[in-house]
């Protein structure tokens, strides 16, 4: 899957279509987004007064840009497929859950399980993300400018989690093949998660992720890489007595 560039110079040939959630219902917004067809001219959307609403812009499957002016509740941008969603505020639990492609940028903080089970695309949290960030991630790239909470990347399967700040307890518990890059301190590593050597291909990969997330002034060499020790992959007969 080609990397999605965050286009800062998105050209707006048409005026944004504005949905004010003080006036329109969330269902009207999401139905209008779901009604979009390939090649639609309505490529720029703006959502006003989200006030912590759940499920803002879930299931969008067209390459439109959506600017959400305020903080959102659960599952914003869930299942996103190809759209670029910017939350100009903070996001509640499960932002970008099961994202397939596209990108979501949260200007503030994100609550629990940001990017959970995401299969693709890029999730950028410009503030902090709380617990379980990237839990069960399956190919999504997540870049957090701040810190992440405990049990992040639990059972992470593939994709990349980049953290410019610190990570809480039990990072990468029972991790499969995802790559974790942390610049700050890690409170503790979870079962089967270990620090790994940063090879040239990882530095290159990380530089690409930082570029895509619009991070400047931070070098890939400042990060440590963590990943799976792969000791939980197969049942160990010596552990049979434990069951």
165 binds another protein (CB under 8 A): no
Among 139, 149, 159, 220, binds another protein (CB under 8 A): 149
152 binds another protein (CB under 8 A): no
Site for another protein in 7-26 (CB under 8 A): none
The minimum distance between CB 132 and another protein, in angstroms, equals 8
Among 138, 145, 150, 179, binds another protein (CB under 8 A): 150
DSSP collapsed to 3 states, the chain = CCCCCCCCCCCCCCCCEEEECCCCCHHHHHHHHHCCCCCCCCCEEEEECCCCCCCCCCCCCCCCEEEEECCECCCCCCCCEEEEEEECCCECCCCCCCCCEEEEEECCCECCCCCCCCCCCEEEECCCECCCCCCCCEEEEEEECCCECCCCCCCCCEEEEEECCCECCCECCCCCCCEEEECCCECCECCCEEEECCCHHHHHHHHHHHHHCCCCCCCHHHCEEEEECCCCCCCCHHHHHHC
130 binds another protein (CB under 8 A): yes
Among 109, 126, 141, 173, binds another protein (CB under 8 A): 109
Per-residue string for binding with another protein, 67-106, x by CB under 8 A?
----x-xx---------------x-xx-------------
Q: Return residues touching another protein (CB under 8 A).
A: 51-53, 71, 73-74, 90, 92-93, 109, 111-112, 130-131, 149-151
């Amino acid at each position: 899957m080609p990397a999605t560039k965050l286009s800062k110079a998105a050209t707006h040939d048409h005026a944004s279509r504005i949905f004010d959630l003080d006036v329109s219902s969330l269902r009207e917004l999401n139905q209008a987004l779901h009604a979009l067809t390939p090649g639609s001219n309505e490529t720029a959307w703006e959502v006003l007064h989200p006030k912590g609403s759940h499920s803002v812009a879930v299931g969008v499957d067209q390459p439109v840009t959506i600017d959400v002016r305020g903080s959102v509740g659960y599952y914003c941008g869930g299942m996103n497929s190809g759209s670029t969603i910017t939350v100009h505020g903070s996001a509640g639990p499960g932002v970008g859950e099961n994202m397939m492609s596209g990108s979501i940028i949260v200007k503030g903080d994100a609550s629990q399980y940001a990017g959970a089970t995401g299969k693709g695309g890029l999730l950028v949290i410009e503030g902090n993300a709380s617990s379980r960030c990237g839990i069960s991630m399956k190919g999504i790239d997540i870049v957090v400018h701040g810190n992440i909470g405990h049990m992040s990347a639990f059972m992470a399967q593939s994709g990349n989690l980049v953290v410019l700040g610190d990570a809480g307890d039990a990072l990468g518990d029972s991790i499969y093949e995802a790559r974790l890059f942390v610049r700050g301190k890690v409170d503790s590593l979870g079962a089967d998660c270990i620090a790994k050597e940063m090879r040239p291909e990882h530095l290159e990969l990380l530089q690409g992720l930082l570029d895509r997330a619009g991070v400047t002034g931070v070098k890939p060499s400042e990060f440590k890489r963590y990943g799976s020790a792969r000791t939980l992959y197969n049942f160990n007969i010596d552990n049979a007595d434990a069951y």
